[in-house]
Amino acid sequence: MIMKTHTQKEIKDFLELLNLKYYNLSKKYETYYWDSYMGDPSVDDMLRDSLIKRDSFTASKKHLDKVREMILSANKTNKARLGYWEHFFETNQIPQDVLTIRKEISDLENKIAADKNNRKEGYIHPHTKKFIKAPMNQMYMIRATNSDEKIRKAVHMTIESYADDFVKELVELVALRNTFAKELGYEDFYAYKLHVEERMTKEELFSLFDDIYDQTKFAFKDVRKMEKNMPGLTKPWNYGYMLSGDFTHEEDQYYPLDEILERWGMSFTRCGIDYAGGELKLDLLERNGKYNNGFCHWPKIIRYVEGKRIPGEARFTCNATYGQVGSGDIAGNTLFHEGGHAAHLLNSCMEDVCLNHEYPPTSTAWAETQSMFLDTMFSSIEWRTKYAKNKDGKPYPLDLFKRKLEKLHMLSPLGMMGISSVMYFEKELYEMKKITEKKVRDLAKDIHKRFSAQEGTSLRSLNTPHIYSFQSACSYQGYGLAELALSQWRKYFYDTYGQIVDNPQVGKEMKQVWKIANSKTFPEMITIATGKKLSAQAYLESALATKEKSISIANKRIETLSKNRSRKNVINLKANISMWHGKKKVCDNKKSFEDMTQKYAKWLETQKIK
Ligand SMILES: [Zn+2]
C-alpha cells in the first residue's frame, strides 16, 4: 500500500478540524445533558441524537486511519498531537463485527434499567402492615437513621430481596461483556475496562489492594469486640444506625447552607486555586424531576483557536434541601468535590480537546484524585476548626472531633472495605468459569463474608447499580486508586510545607499538573505530582494510625494553620460564576463574589422547608 505524504500545514489543518468537530459535538450533547438532568425531559430526543453523533465521531475508523497516515510525515510537535488523537480513536474503536455484541449488551442493560425503574419500591410497615412506597435511596436512609429497629429491619429485608432481582440477566451480561472484551483482544471484561480507564493490569491493581486487605482485616475482630458494649451492633440493620449516632445532627449547625459559598470561595482563593478565566454554572438545590445525584460536566471544553487558548465552561450540581439536617454539608462537599473536578479540566493548557474532556482515555482515578483531594480538605479537622462556624461564630469544637474519634476510630482501618468489595466482586465475577446464577449468588455471599463486619449472609454486592451499566461496570477501582493517590499527595504536601488548608503552594502545584490535563497515564501523573511511584503506604499510614497519633496530628495541623494565616481576604476564583435553579438564574458574581453570595442567601430563604 502506498502511503500519502502530508505537509505540516495539512496536518495542522486536519488537527484543527478534529478539534472543532469534537468540540461542537461535545458541546451540543453536554448542553442537552444538563437541561435533561436538571429536569427538562423535552430535550431527551435531542440528547439521544447528539450522543449518537458524538459517539460515531469518537469511534470513527476513517479518522483513526488518517491520523496514522499523517503521523508518518509529521514533525515532532505534530507527531505528539496526532499521537493523542490516535490514542483517543484507538480507545473508542469498536470494530464492525463486535458492534452487534455491543448492541446486545446495550439492549440488555436498557431492559434491566427499565425493569428497575418500573419496580414498585417500598416496604411493608411492621406495625401497620401497610405497604410504604420508598425508593432505594430513601430506604438506605431509613435503615441508617430510623430509631425503630423493627422498621430498620423491615427495610433491610426488602433491600436484601431486591438484590436477587437481576441475577439471571447479570449472568447473560457477564458472558456478553466477556465475549466483547475477548474479541478486542483482552483476557476478560475487567482487564479491558482497567486498561482503557487506567492503563493498568489486574496484577498491578490487585497486588496493591491484596496488601491493603491483609494489613487491615484484623479490625473486623475489633468491631466484634465493640459489640459487647453495643449489643446487636453487627446486625446489618443496626450497624450504620448505631455507629453514626447523633453526630450528623450535632455537626449540622457548623455548616449553614447560606454561608457555604463564601467559605468555599475564600478557601479556594487562599489555596491558590482558580478557574483560569472560565465560566461556572451551579445548581445546588433539590427539585422535582432533577437528577438525584451530584455531578460536574463541561459543556465547553478548553480549546485553542489559531494558537489562542479559549477558556471553558463547567457546570455542577447537588441535591441539597435548605432546612434539612445535613444540607450544608452536602453543598459544601459538592463545592469542594465537583468544584475540584471543574478546576482540574478548566486549567488545562493542552491544545487538543481530546485531552481536556472527562471521557476515555481520561483516567477516572486521576480525575477522582483531584476532587477527593479537595473534599478531604473540606472534611479535615483543621479546615473545620477554621471555617466551619455556627451562627454564633463558634467554630467546630475539637471536643466533638475527639468524641467522634473515640467512638469510630476502631473502624478506621476498614475504610477501604466497601470499595474493595465491589472491585473484588466484579473481578471474580468476570473470571468465573461456566457462570451460573447459583455461582453468582455464592460469590456475593462470599464477598460479604470477606469484606464486611456484619453478621449473616448477604447478596448486597448485587444491589450495586454500577455493575449493570457498561460505562460504570468494572470502574470502581477509580475511587480506590484515588484514595491511595490523594493520601500520597497529602503526605507529600504535609511533609514539604506542613500545611494544606490556605497554603497557596498547594494550588500552585496542582495547577501545574492540571496544565498537562490527560496527556499522561494515571501512574505517570502520580509520579509527577508526588515525586514517588503510586503505593498504598501513605493510605495505610493514616488508616492504621492510633487514636493518640490521630489526635496529636490534628493538634499539630490546627496549630500550623493558626500560625500561618493567609492575608488574602478578597475572593477571586478567576471565573464568571452564576447560580441557577433549573431554568431560573438566581444571581451571578458580575459585581463581586460577596454580592453573589448575599443575593443567593436571600433567595435561599424563600426556598427553606418548614
Ligand atoms: Zn467525582
User: C-alpha grid cell for residue 32?
Assistant: 442537552
- Please give the distance, rounded to the nearest whole angstrom, from the Cα atom of residue 608 to the centre of ligand 1: 27
Q: Between these two residues, 117 and 573, which has the higher pLDDT value?
A: 573
- Please give the distance, rounded to the nearest whole angstrom, from the Cα atom of residue 476 to the centre of ligand 1: 12
- Please give the distance, rounded to the nearest whole angstrom, from the Cα atom of residue 367 to the centre of ligand 1: 7
- Please give the distance, rounded to the nearest whole angstrom, from the Cα atom of residue 542 to the centre of ligand 1: 22
- Please give the distance, rounded to the nearest whole angstrom, from the Cα atom of residue 562 to the centre of ligand 1: 30
- Please give the distance, rounded to the nearest whole angstrom, from the Cα atom of residue 297 to the centre of ligand 1: 10
Q: What is the pTM of this model?
A: 0.93
Say yes or no to pLDDT of 248 above 90. Answer: no
280-309 residues labelled b (16+ CB within 10 A) or e (exposed): bbbbbbbeeebeeebbbbbbbbbbbeeeee
Say yes or no to pLDDT of 2 above 80. Answer: no
- Please give the distance, rounded to the nearest whole angstrom, from the Cα atom of residue 433 to the centre of ligand 1: 34
Say yes or no to pLDDT of 1 above 60. Answer: no
- Please give the distance, rounded to the nearest whole angstrom, from the Cα atom of residue 128 to the centre of ligand 1: 41
Q: What is the mean pLDDT of the chain?
A: 94
Nearest to 600 by CA among 335, 338, 372: 335
Residue 493 pLDDT level (bands cut at 50, 70, 90): very high
- Please give the distance, rounded to the nearest whole angstrom, from the Cα atom of residue 543 to the centre of ligand 1: 21
- Please give the distance, rounded to the nearest whole angstrom, from the Cα atom of residue 310 to the centre of ligand 1: 25
On the 0-12 / 13-18 / 19+ scale of CB atoms within 10 A, 436 is exposed
Q: What own/partner pairs with CB < 8 Å and gap ≥ 24 does 580-587 have?
A: 580/38, 580/281, 580/282, 580/283, 581/283, 581/285, 581/287, 581/607, 582/38, 582/39, 582/40, 582/283, 582/287, 582/290, 583/38, 583/40
141-178 residues labelled b (16+ CB within 10 A) or e (exposed): ebbbeeeeeebbbbbbebbbebbeebbeebbebbebbb
- Please give the distance, rounded to the nearest whole angstrom, from the Cα atom of residue 345 to the centre of ligand 1: 13
DSSP 432: -
Nearest to 262 by CA among 582, 573, 610, 606: 573
- Please give the distance, rounded to the nearest whole angstrom, from the Cα atom of residue 39 to the centre of ligand 1: 21
- Please give the distance, rounded to the nearest whole angstrom, from the Cα atom of residue 377 to the centre of ligand 1: 15
* Tens of pLDDT, residues 114-165: 888 788 889 999 999 999 998 887 788 789 888 899 999 999 999 999 999 9
- Please give the distance, rounded to the nearest whole angstrom, from the Cα atom of residue 193 to the centre of ligand 1: 18
| C-beta separation of 37 from 291 below 8 A | yes
Q: Between these two residues, 107 and 387, which has the higher pLDDT value?
A: 387
- Please give the distance, rounded to the nearest whole angstrom, from the Cα atom of residue 178 to the centre of ligand 1: 27
- Please give the distance, rounded to the nearest whole angstrom, from the Cα atom of residue 478 to the centre of ligand 1: 10
* Tens of pLDDT, residues 28-76: 999 999 999 898 989 989 998 998 899 899 999 999 999 999 999 999 9
- Please give the distance, rounded to the nearest whole angstrom, from the Cα atom of residue 372 to the centre of ligand 1: 7
What is the pLDDT at residue 326?
82
- Please give the distance, rounded to the nearest whole angstrom, from the Cα atom of residue 330 to the centre of ligand 1: 14
- Please give the distance, rounded to the nearest whole angstrom, from the Cα atom of residue 147 to the centre of ligand 1: 32
- Among 79-83, 109-113, 444-448, where is mean pLDDT lowest? 109-113
Residue 291 pLDDT level (bands cut at 50, 70, 90): confident
- Please give the distance, rounded to the nearest whole angstrom, from the Cα atom of residue 88 to the centre of ligand 1: 22
Q: Between these two residues, 537 and 110, which has the higher pLDDT value?
A: 537
- Please give the distance, rounded to the nearest whole angstrom, from the Cα atom of residue 317 to the centre of ligand 1: 12
- Please give the distance, rounded to the nearest whole angstrom, from the Cα atom of residue 466 to the centre of ligand 1: 14
| C-beta separation of 385 from 201 below 8 A | no
| C-beta separation of 328 from 294 below 8 A | no
- Please give the distance, rounded to the nearest whole angstrom, from the Cα atom of residue 399 to the centre of ligand 1: 31
- Among 248-252, 282-286, 592-596, where is mean pLDDT lowest? 248-252
Residue 23 pLDDT level (bands cut at 50, 70, 90): very high
- Please give the distance, rounded to the nearest whole angstrom, from the Cα atom of residue 355 to the centre of ligand 1: 18
* Tens of pLDDT, residues 186-204: 999 999 999 999 999 999 9
CA distance 442 to 437: 9
Residue 175 pLDDT level (bands cut at 50, 70, 90): very high
User: C-alpha grid cell for residue 16?
Assistant: 484543527
- Please give the distance, rounded to the nearest whole angstrom, from the Cα atom of residue 70 to the centre of ligand 1: 36
- Please give the distance, rounded to the nearest whole angstrom, from the Cα atom of residue 473 to the centre of ligand 1: 16
CATH 1.10.1370.40 is held by the domain 248-412+478-605: yes
The average pLDDT across 366-386 equals 97
User: C-alpha grid cell for residue 476?
Assistant: 470502581
CA distance 586 to 205: 45
CA distance 589 to 94: 45
- Please give the distance, rounded to the nearest whole angstrom, from the Cα atom of residue 96 to the centre of ligand 1: 33
Say yes or no to pLDDT of 459 above 60. Answer: yes
User: C-alpha grid cell for residue 204?
Assistant: 498491578
The CA angle 277-280-282, to the nearest 5 degrees, is 165
- Please give the distance, rounded to the nearest whole angstrom, from the Cα atom of residue 332 to the centre of ligand 1: 14
| Residue indicated by cell numbers 464477598 | 447
- Please give the distance, rounded to the nearest whole angstrom, from the Cα atom of residue 371 to the centre of ligand 1: 6
Say yes or no to pLDDT of 492 above 60. Answer: yes
- Please give the distance, rounded to the nearest whole angstrom, from the Cα atom of residue 246 to the centre of ligand 1: 27
Q: Where are the domains of the chain?
A: 8-93, 121-164, 248-412+478-605
Could you tell me whether strands 122-124 and 295-300 are parallel, antiparallel, or unpaired per DSSP bridges? unpaired
- Please give the distance, rounded to the nearest whole angstrom, from the Cα atom of residue 364 to the centre of ligand 1: 9
- Please give the distance, rounded to the nearest whole angstrom, from the Cα atom of residue 229 to the centre of ligand 1: 37
DSSP codes, 438-481: HHHHHHHHHHHHHH--S-S---GGGG-GGGGSTTTTT-THHHHH
- Please give the distance, rounded to the nearest whole angstrom, from the Cα atom of residue 296 to the centre of ligand 1: 8
Nearest to 484 by CA among 323, 368, 396: 368
| C-beta separation of 338 from 282 below 8 A | no
